[in-house]
């Protein structure tokens, strides 16, 4: 029979499990469209699997409380102290899970240690975020009150148990209880007796895999990410020769008589394909972009390499896709050798720069720009007036229209040829629109729609200003998005759709090389494309993940990581490499893939695409661990 101490501890722990069940239900209801392809029975099974992660997370979070609970003291003061520890620890866990009911909509994953790696950004935005998501305080207060009210206190009978004289037998029993509790706690934290402790990836070993996000809880993903080495060495291929053969890397020969044009990259915040009209039968919020896309090379099968802004810049400037849980910029590998477009074009005499209208240091963009060889970084500090400017949006930085006007003017001051990247920010949560434009843009059905309309207008004004500058006619413009955001269209509400973004190459004064606009493209293709267009040979400084969009020898590919699995997109299939190294194939359609893999896939495609994906992940992983991305 359990002692009163263990019975009380068990009741307190069961109360927490009940609260986490409610949190999982809230997460499901807030993000129901993500799981729409799952049946009710599959959803219920995910809830059941979730208890394993809840037990692990709660035990890990409550280690101090567990230790203090084993002190045989049922006095009122001590028990109130215990309740204070219990509420303090678990208030943090509840807050993480409630925040993720909304944050998940933007990053497509549960929260990890980014709360520490981008602490400065969070501190600057805390007031605005609380103001915008104030409604989360209501369920937090309700759950906190429920936890306080239902917290089991010792009954008079239980309290009397420890008023009895202590005997050698009771002391021995207490010692055995300590050993049993410690053993069970260790077993619960590691998730069972299996060879390796419970990991985030284990949640996704169900059908459909997206239910892994539901089985997880944010306390687990956050605690597991603290101090955790993001990647471990892989050994799918035993020799460098076999690895290179499977990698399917290509560097086309430099084009003869290539122009020495300027290159401008417009990296547009949250500018997902779902919002434009050209990809959606004219039903969109981007009339200017739709018109511009008809004048250039518009790639209709383009995908982002990640779901967060911090993952976009490494892909676009260095060809490094996001294939690990932590962003490269804030990871332990951020000082690894990396050759970016800034360095490679700088050696060719280009003036290089990055512009971002947010606070200097936001997401480490200034530091990363320097790592990739960018000569000058311009942030909010360099903008006239900075945060005191009337163009400041009150949240992140400078509104897109004035900032893009400023960017165009700054480019005129740069010596040619130049390579410059601007990262916009207005179409970011909380999706502001300047007061003078209220009502000008369609409100649509999501908060982001009017903001996207404003950003499209800002792009129109930028090109109007740029067209009057002397450098305009000999400049290649590359326009793409950092990631997707809020979703409404059902056909985009699947794993592949959550990465679907546009890619446009536009040159106002010349003809671009021929390209298949239906090839698969990704953000990591940008470096190879720029060098190919400019006729610059740099085979040893290009990572092998991306292709030039002008390379007719390939059909292209895209890579990303989601739910612990790596994915490889080709024009016929999407290949998944699961956390336990299983390979699965899904039929490909533009921004769409089914929730379940093919039951009987083509064995040759399964082998070749599986090996290609394994090679990409091994090259990426071991290259970072050994700091040999360019020397494998």
Q: Are 55 and 97 in contact (CB under 8 A)?
A: no
What domains lie within the chain, and their CATH numbers?
A: 4-225 (no CATH), 271-626 (3.40.720.10)
Residue that has been written with the tokens 């792009």 in this structure: 459
Q: Is 226 exposed, middle or buried (0-12, 13-18, 19+ CB in 10 A)?
A: exposed
Question: For the segment 619-631, what is each residue's pLDDT rounded down to a tens digit?
Answer: 999 999 888 898 7
Q: Are 489 and 285 in contact (CB under 8 A)?
A: no
Strands 301-303 and 262-268: unpaired
User: Contacts by 166-173 with C-beta closer than 8 Å and gap 24+?
Assistant: 173/3
Question: For the segment 375-389, what is each residue's pLDDT rounded down to a tens digit?
Answer: 999 999 999 999 999
Q: Are 269 and 430 in contact (CB under 8 A)?
A: no
Q: What is the mean pLDDT of residues 80-107?
A: 89
pLDDT given at position 241: 93
pLDDT given at position 496: 96
High-pLDDT (> 90) share of the chain, %: 65
3-state secondary structure 362-399: HHHHHHHHHHCCCCEEECHHHCCCHHHCCCECCCCEEC
The model's pTM: 0.77
Question: For the segment 137-158, what is each residue's pLDDT rounded down to a tens digit?
Answer: 999 999 999 999 999 988 776 6
Regarding predicted confidence, which is higher, 324 or 114?
Answer: 324
**pLDDT at position 26 over 60:** yes
pLDDT-derived band at 164, boundaries 50, 70, 90: low
**pLDDT at position 124 over 80:** no
pLDDT given at position 131: 63
Residue that has been written with the tokens 């804030």 in this structure: 330
Q: What is the mean pLDDT of residues 283-300?
A: 97
Question: For the segment 214-263, what is each residue's pLDDT rounded down to a tens digit?
Answer: 999 999 988 887 765 556 789 999 999 999 999 999 887 778 888 999 99
Q: What is the mean pLDDT of residues 200-217?
A: 78
Question: Which residue(s) pair with 420 in the sheet?
Answer: 264, 353
Dihedral, 533, 534, 537, 542 alpha carbons, nearest 10:
-60
pLDDT given at position 546: 96
Instruction: Say how far apart CA 112 and CA 110 lie, in whole Å.
Output: 7
Helix, coil or strand: residue 592: strand
pLDDT given at position 223: 87
Q: Are 398 and 380 in contact (CB under 8 A)?
A: yes
pLDDT given at position 121: 53
Structure tokens at 278: 């050209």
Whole-number mean pLDDT of the chain?
89
Question: For the segment 340-349, what is each residue's pLDDT rounded down to a tens digit?
Answer: 999 999 999 9
Q: Are 514 and 283 in contact (CB under 8 A)?
A: no
Question: For the segment 51-60, what is each residue's pLDDT rounded down to a tens digit?
Answer: 999 999 999 9
Regarding predicted confidence, which is higher, 527 or 198?
Answer: 527
Q: What is the mean pLDDT of residues 596-617?
A: 96
**pLDDT at position 632 over 60:** yes
Regarding predicted confidence, which is higher, 230 or 352?
Answer: 352
86-95, 277-286, 332-341, 585-594, range with the lowest pLDDT: 332-341
**pLDDT at position 189 over 90:** no
Residue 340 has phi, psi (to 5 degrees) of: -105, 175
User: What Cα–Cα distance (Å) separates residue 180 from each residue in 32, 67, 125, 185?
Assistant: 40, 13, 45, 8
**pLDDT at position 204 over 60:** yes
pLDDT-derived band at 125, boundaries 50, 70, 90: low
Structure tokens at 320: 């490094």
Q: What is the mean pLDDT of residues 92-114?
A: 82
Helices (H), 252-399: 287-293, 309-318, 341-346, 365-371
High-pLDDT (> 70) share of the chain, %: 90
pLDDT-derived band at 38, boundaries 50, 70, 90: confident
User: Contacts by 345-351 with C-beta closer than 8 Å and gap 24+?
Assistant: 345/263, 345/373, 345/419, 345/530, 345/534, 345/536, 346/373, 346/375, 348/534, 348/536, 349/417, 350/263, 350/417, 350/418, 350/419, 351/375, 351/376, 351/414, 351/415, 351/416, 351/417, 351/418, 351/419, 351/420
Q: Which of 472, 58, 97 is nearest to 263 (CA)?
A: 472
Question: For the segment 498-519, what is each residue's pLDDT rounded down to a tens digit?
Answer: 999 999 999 999 889 999 999 9
* Residue 265: HSE in the Cβ half-sphere, 13 Å Cα cutoff: 28
pLDDT-derived band at 524, boundaries 50, 70, 90: very high
- Supply the DSSP symbol for 599: S
Instruction: Say how far apart CA 148 and CA 152 lie, in whole Å.
Output: 9
pLDDT given at position 290: 98
Q: What is the mean pLDDT of residues 587-615?
A: 96
């Amino acid at each position: 029979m359990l002692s009163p101490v263990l019975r009380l501890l068990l009741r307190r722990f069961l109360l927490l499990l009940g609260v986490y069940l409610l949190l999982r239900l809230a997460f499901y209801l807030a993000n129901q469209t993500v799981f729409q392809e799952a049946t009710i029975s599959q959803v219920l099974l995910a809830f059941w699997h979730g208890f394993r992660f809840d037990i692990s997370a709660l035990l890990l979070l409550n280690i101090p409380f567990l230790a203090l609970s084993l002190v045989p003291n049922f006095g009122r003061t001590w028990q109130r102290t215990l309740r204070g520890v219990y509420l303090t620890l678990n208030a943090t866990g509840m807050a993480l899970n409630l925040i993720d009911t909304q944050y998940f909509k933007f990053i497509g994953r549960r929260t990890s240690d980014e709360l520490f790696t981008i602490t400065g950004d969070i501190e600057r935005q805390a007031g605005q975020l609380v103001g915008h998501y104030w409604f989360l305080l209501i369920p937090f207060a309700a759950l906190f009150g429920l936890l306080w009210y239902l917290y089991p206190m010792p009954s008079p009978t239980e309290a009397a148990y420890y008023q009895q004289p202590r005997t050698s037998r009771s002391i021995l029993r207490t010692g055995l209880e300590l050993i049993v509790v410690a053993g069970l706690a260790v077993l619960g934290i590691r998730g069972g007796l299996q060879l390796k402790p419970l990991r985030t990836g284990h949640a996704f070993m169900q059908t459909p895999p997206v239910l892994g996000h539901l089985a997880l809880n944010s306390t687990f993903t956050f605690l597991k990410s603290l101090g955790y080495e993001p990647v471990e060495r892989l050994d799918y291929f035993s020799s460098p020769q076999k690895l290179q053969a499977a990698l399917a890397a290509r560097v086309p020969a430099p084009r003869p008589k290539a122009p020495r044009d300027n290159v401008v990259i417009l990296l547009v915040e949250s500018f997902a394909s779902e919002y434009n009209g050209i990809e959606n039968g004219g039903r969109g919020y981007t009339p200017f972009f739709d018109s511009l896309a008809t004048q250039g090379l518009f790639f209709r099968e383009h995908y982002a390499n990640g779901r967060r802004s911090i993952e976009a810049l490494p892909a676009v400037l260095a060809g490094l896709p996001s294939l690990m849980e932590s962003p490269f910029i804030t990871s332990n590998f951020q000082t690894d050798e990396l050759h970016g477009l800034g360095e490679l074009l700088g050696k060719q005499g280009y003036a290089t720069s990055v512009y971002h209208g947010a606070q200097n240091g936001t997401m480490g963009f200034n530091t990363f720009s320097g790592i990739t060889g960018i000569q000058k970084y311009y942030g909010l500090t360099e903008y006239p007036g900075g945060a005191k400017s009337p163009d400041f949006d009150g949240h992140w930085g400078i509104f897109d229209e004035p900032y893009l006007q400023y960017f165009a003017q700054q480019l005129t001051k740069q010596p040619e040829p130049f390579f410059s990247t601007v990262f916009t920010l207005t179409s970011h949560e909380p999706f502001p629109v300047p007061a003078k434009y209220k009502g000008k843009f369609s409100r649509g059905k999501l908060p982001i729609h009017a903001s996207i309309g404003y950003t499209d207008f800002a792009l129109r004004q930028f090109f109007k200003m740029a067209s009057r500058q002397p450098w305009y006619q000999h400049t290649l413009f590359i326009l793409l998005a950092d990631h997707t955001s809020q979703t409404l269209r059902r056909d985009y509400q699947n794993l592949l759709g959550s990465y679907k973004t546009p890619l446009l190459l536009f040159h106002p004064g010349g003809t671009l090389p021929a390209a298949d606009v239906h090839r698969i493209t990704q953000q990591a293709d940008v470096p190879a494309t720029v060098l190919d267009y400019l006729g610059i040979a740099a085979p040893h400084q290009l990572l092998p993940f991306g292709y030039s969009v002008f390379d007719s020898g390939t059909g292209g590919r895209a890579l990303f990581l989601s739910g612990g699995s790596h994915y490889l997109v080709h024009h016929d299939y999407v290949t998944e490499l699961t956390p336990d190294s299983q390979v699965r194939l899904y039929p490909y359609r533009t921004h769409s893939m089914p929730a379940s893999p093919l039951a009987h896939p083509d064995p040759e495609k399964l082998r070749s695409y599986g090996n290609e994906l394994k090679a990409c992940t091994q090259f990426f992983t071991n290259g970072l661990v050994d700091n040999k991305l360019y020397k494998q």
